[in-house]
Structure 1
Amino acid sequence: MSIVNQASSFLCSSASSISSSSSSSHRDLTRASIHFPKIKTNNLSTLIPKIQSNIGLVEEMEFSRIPPKKQNQNNPKMSHDPEVMEKLYVILEAVSDRVEMHKNIGEQRNNWNSLLLTSINTITVTATTMAGIASAITSVPGAPLEALKLSSSFLYLAATGMLIIMNKIQPSQLAEEQRNAARLLKQLESEIKTKIAISNPSLSDVNDAMEKVLAIDRAYPLPLLGVMLEKFPAKVEPAVWWPEKRRTSSKRCHDKNGWSVELEEEMREIIRVLEIKDKDDYITLGEKALKLNKGLTIAGPLLTGLGAIGSAFLASSPHNSWAMVLGVMGGAMASVVNTIQHGGQVGMVFEMYRSNAGFFKMMEESIESNLKERDFDSRENGEVFEMKVALQLGRSLSELRDVAASSSRLGSDIEEFGSKLF
C-alpha cells in the first residue's frame, strides 16, 4: 500500500508542475516524462498461492450451496448406487456366460444334424445295396443269402430307430433356437452396457434386466429332457422371449415427450399392418412348414421299416416279388426323404418362421404399451421411438409414414408388408 501511495503522490506533483509551466510560457515546448518507481514482484509471488486458496474455498462454499439434485445433474456418476451397479454387473456376467453357452450348444446341435443325417443315409444306402444284392443272387446256389438278408434288416431297423430319435428332437430346429437365444442375449448385453454408460441405473432397471434374462431362458431352454420346446405343436404360436409389460401409471403430463396425435395414429396403423400382413404371413408359412415336417417325420421311419420287412422276406417264394420292391425301393425313398427333411433343415425353417412372427408380435406389444401409457414422461421419446420402429422394419422415416398413410387410406386391402428387412 505504501508503494501505491507514493506512486499516486508522484503523479499528482508531476501534473501540477506541468500545468504551471504551460501557463507561464506558451512558446516553450516542454517534454515531460513520467518515471514510475520499480515495484518489487517478490511480494506478489507470495500473495498468489493465498489468492488461489481463497478462490478454491469460495468455489467450495458456492458448490455446497447447490442442492444435491443439481450436483448429480452436473456429475451423473456421483448418483450411481453402488449396490445397483453391483447387481447390474452380476446380471451382465450371467448374460455373457449364457451367450457363450448358447453359441457352443448351437454349434454342437448343428453338428448333430449333419452327423446324424450322414450316418442314417449311409446306413440306409448300405441296407438298400445289401437287399439288392440278396435279391439278385436268390437263384445262385451257395450264396450268402441269409447273411445279406439279416444284415440288411438289421441296418434298416437301426436306421429306423435313429430316425425316430432324430425326428423327435429336430437338431436343426434346436440349433436355430440357440442361435436366436445367443443373438437376443447379445442384444440384452449391449443394452445393459449402454444403460450403465449413459444413464443412472435404478433398482427397476435391475429387475427389468432380470426379467428379460429369465424370459429368454423360458423361450429358448438349453436342456432337452423335460423342458424342450414342443417340435410339433397343435397350433403355431409366435415365439415369446420378452417379459410381460406392466404399466400402472394413471396420471397425465402436459409435456408430450416427442409425441403428437399424428405420431400416435401412425403407430396404430403400423400395428394394424404388422398384424394383418407380416405376422399373419409368417404364421401361415410356419403352419405349412410344420405340416411338411410332420409328413416327412412319419414317412422316413415308415419307409425304412418297410425296407426292413422286405429284406426279411427276400427269397421267400410267395412273397419274393413285393419283398424285393420293399427292400430296395423303401431304402432309396427313405434316403431321399431324410435328405429333404434334415438336409433341408425343415425344422429350422419352421423355427425361423415362428421367431419372425414373435418379432412382429413383440413390436406390436411395444407400440401398444407406449400408446396405452397416459403419462408421456413414462413413454419412450416419440421421435426416438419412431426411428427405432423404422430401423427394426428396415425402412426410412418417410417410408414408414407412407406405409401408415397407405394403410389408413386402403384399409384391409393393403398389399405392402410393414417390414422390408425380412
Structure 2
Amino acid sequence: MPGGGRRILFNENVASSDHDHDPEVAAKFYAVMEAVADRVEMHKNIGEQRNNWNNLLLNSINAMTLSAAMMTGMAALVANGGTLLALKLSSAVLYASVTVMLVAMNVIQPSQLAEEQRNASRLFKQLHREFQTVVALGSSSPTVCDVNEATERVLALDKAFPLPLLGDKMIEKFPNVVEPAVWWPQRIMRSKKTGKVNGNNNNGWNLKLEEEMRNVVGVLKTKDMDDYMKLGEKALKLNKMLAISGPILTGIAAIGSAFVGTSNGSLAVMVGVICGAMASVVNTFEHSGQVGMVFEMYRSNAGFFKLMQETIESNVNERDVERRENGEVFQTKVALQLGRSLSELRHLAASAASSSSSDEEEFASKLF
C-alpha cells in the first residue's frame, strides 16, 4: 500500500566525540535495532491474524444470517406447531447472535486493524534498514544522540500503531474529525529565517532550490493532502453508515422472525427474510470491500504528504545550512518519493509558482 513506508528525513546528526567509541552507547543502539526487528515480526503476525479474523467473521456472520432467513421462510410453510416454534426460536436466536457479533466486528473493524499492522510492519522494516545504514556508513560508533533519536522514533511508531483491540490506546475507528496518520516524533519547528546560501559553502543549497521546495510544499498542502483528506472523510461516512445499517437490519429480522405464525405472519416472514438478505449484502460490502482498510489507507497517504511537508520545511527553515541535509541529495529524495525525475520536480515547482489558481496545478505525487 502506498504511503506507509516512506523515509523520515532527520537532519539533527549532532556529533558527540565523547561517545564516538563508547561500547555501552553502541550496545544501546544495537538493542534498539533488535527491538525494531522484533516489532516487525510482531506486527506482521498480528496483521495476518486480524486479516483472518475479518474473513472468518464475515463468512460466519453471513452464513448465520442466511440460515436464519431460510428458517424464517421455512417456518411459514410448516403446519405443525412444535416444528414452527423450533424454527422461529432458531432463526430468532441466530439473528440475535449475528447482531451481537456484527456490532463487535463493526466496532473493532478487522480490515482496518490489518491495514494498521501492515503499515507498522513496513515502517519498522524501513526503520531497521535506516539503522543498519547508520552502522554501515557511519565513520564512528553510534552516539548518544543516535540512540535517543532512534528510541523516539520507535516509541512514535508504537504510539501510531497500537496493538490493543479495545481501550483508550487503540486508534479511533470512527473519529469525529479525520486527521492524517502521524508516525514520527513531533519536534519544534525551526526558525523561519533562513541562512545565507549564496556563498561557496552552501551544502548543496541555493535560493532557487529553497524556492522550489517551498512551491512543492504548497502543492502538497493544497492538492495531494487535501484530496486524500476529502477521500478519507467520504470513506469514513460510508463506513459509519454501513456499520450502523448491518446490526439494525439483523435486529429487525430477529423481531420479524419471532412473529412468524401470528396474525401478521406473512408480514413478519417478509421482514425476516428481506432484512436478513439485505443485512448479508451490507455486511459483505462493508467487510469484503474492506471499507475500514480504505479509510486507513487514505489516512496513511495523507500522513505521508504531511511528513514530506514537515521534512521540507524543517530543512528550508534551518538557518545553518550545514545542519541541513545536503540540498542535492535532499532534492533527489523528494523527487523519488513523489515518483518524479529531477526535471519533473523542477517543472512542478515552476508550474506552482506561475499558476494563478490551485485548481490549475497538477498533483505533486505521481505514485498515488
Question: TM exceeds 0.5?
Answer: yes
The question of 1:179 aligning with 2:118 is answered: yes
Q: C-alpha displacement at 1:150, in angstroms?
A: 0.4
1:230-249 matches, within 5 Å, as 230-246=172-188
Q: Which residue of 1 aligns with 2:294?
A: 349
Tell me, yes or no, if the aligned pair for 1:274 and 1:364 is still in contact at 8 Å. Answer: yes
The aligned amino acid for 1:297 is: A
Larger deviation, residues 146-155 vs 406-415: 406-415
Tell me, yes or no, if the aligned pair for 2:108 and 2:166 is still in contact at 8 Å. Answer: no
The question of 1:289 aligning with 2:240 is answered: no
Question: 2: distance between equivalents of 1:204 and 1:308?
Answer: 61
The aligned amino acid for 1:349 is: V
| 1:261-299 deviation line (CA, Å, top 9, x unaligned) | 110000001001011110001000000000000000010
1:24-103 matches, within 5 Å, as 79-103=20-44
Question: 2: distance between equivalents of 1:161 and 1:350?
Answer: 24
- Name the CA shift for 1:331/1:251 in 2 (closer, same or farther; >3 Å): closer
SS of residue in 2 equivalent to 1:221? coil
Tell me, yes or no, if the aligned pair for 1:128 and 1:327 is still in contact at 8 Å. Answer: yes
Q: Which residue of 2 aligns with 1:400?
A: 345
- Name the CA shift for 1:313/1:407 in 2 (closer, same or farther; >3 Å): same
Q: C-alpha displacement at 1:251, in angstroms?
A: 9.9
1:134-149 matches, within 5 Å, as 134-137=75-78, 140-141=79-80, 144-149=83-88
The question of 1:418 aligning with 2:364 is answered: yes
1:217 to 151, 158, 165: 158
| 1:6-36 deviation line (CA, Å, top 9, x unaligned) | xxxxxxxxxxxxxxxxxxxxxxxxxxxxxxx
Tell me, yes or no, if the aligned pair for 1:306 and 1:326 is still in contact at 8 Å. Answer: yes
| 1:313-343 deviation line (CA, Å, top 9, x unaligned) | 01111x2232111110011000000000001
Q: C-alpha displacement at 1:252, in angstroms?
A: 5.1
Question: 2: distance between equivalents of 1:347 and 1:142?
Answer: 45
The aligned amino acid for 2:101 is: M
| 1:92-118 deviation line (CA, Å, top 9, x unaligned) | 000000000000000000000000000
Tell me, yes or no, if the aligned pair for 1:131 and 1:311 is still in contact at 8 Å. Answer: yes
Q: What is the TM-score normalised by the length of structure 1?
A: 0.79
SS of residue in 1 equivalent to 2:364? coil
Q: Which residue of 1 aligns with 2:354?
A: 409
Structure 2 unaligned blocks of 5 or more: 1-16
2:269 to 318, 324, 329: 324
Q: Which residue of 1 aligns with 2:135?
A: 196
Q: Greater CA radius of gyration, 1 or 2?
A: 1
Question: 2: distance between equivalents of 1:231 and 1:298?
Answer: 13
- Identity rate, percent: 64
SS of residue in 2 equivalent to 1:257? coil
SS of residue in 1 equivalent to 2:355? helix
Tell me, yes or no, if the aligned pair for 1:245 and 1:369 is still in contact at 8 Å. Answer: no
The question of 1:126 aligning with 2:67 is answered: yes
Question: 1: distance between equivalents of 2:58 and 2:194?
Answer: 60
The aligned amino acid for 1:372 is: N
Larger deviation, residues 224-233 vs 378-387: 224-233
SS of residue in 1 equivalent to 2:162? coil
Q: Which residue of 1 aligns with 2:89?
A: 150
Tell me, yes or no, if the aligned pair for 1:124 and 1:335 is still in contact at 8 Å. Answer: yes
Tell me, yes or no, if the aligned pair for 1:289 and 1:346 is still in contact at 8 Å. Answer: yes
Q: C-alpha displacement at 1:141, in angstroms?
A: 4.4
Give the number of the structure with larger relative contact order, counting CA–CA contacts within 8 Å between residues 6 or more apart.
2
Question: 1: distance between equivalents of 2:253 and 2:51?
Answer: 28
Question: 2: distance between equivalents of 1:171 and 1:142?
Answer: 42
Q: C-alpha displacement at 1:413, in angstroms?
A: 3.1
Tell me, yes or no, if the aligned pair for 1:130 and 1:149 is still in contact at 8 Å. Answer: yes
Q: C-alpha displacement at 1:248, in angstroms?
A: 6.2
- Name the CA shift for 1:96/1:119 in 2 (closer, same or farther; >3 Å): same
Structure 1 unaligned blocks of 5 or more: 1-75
Tell me, yes or no, if the aligned pair for 1:153 and 1:309 is still in contact at 8 Å. Answer: yes
Q: Which residue of 2 aligns with 1:23?
A: none
Tell me, yes or no, if the aligned pair for 1:167 and 1:297 is still in contact at 8 Å. Answer: yes
SS of residue in 2 equivalent to 1:144? helix
Q: C-alpha displacement at 1:136, in angstroms?
A: 2.5
Question: 1: distance between equivalents of 2:153 and 2:210?
Answer: 26
| Number of positions where the alignment pairs a residue of Structure 1 with one of Structure 2 | 343
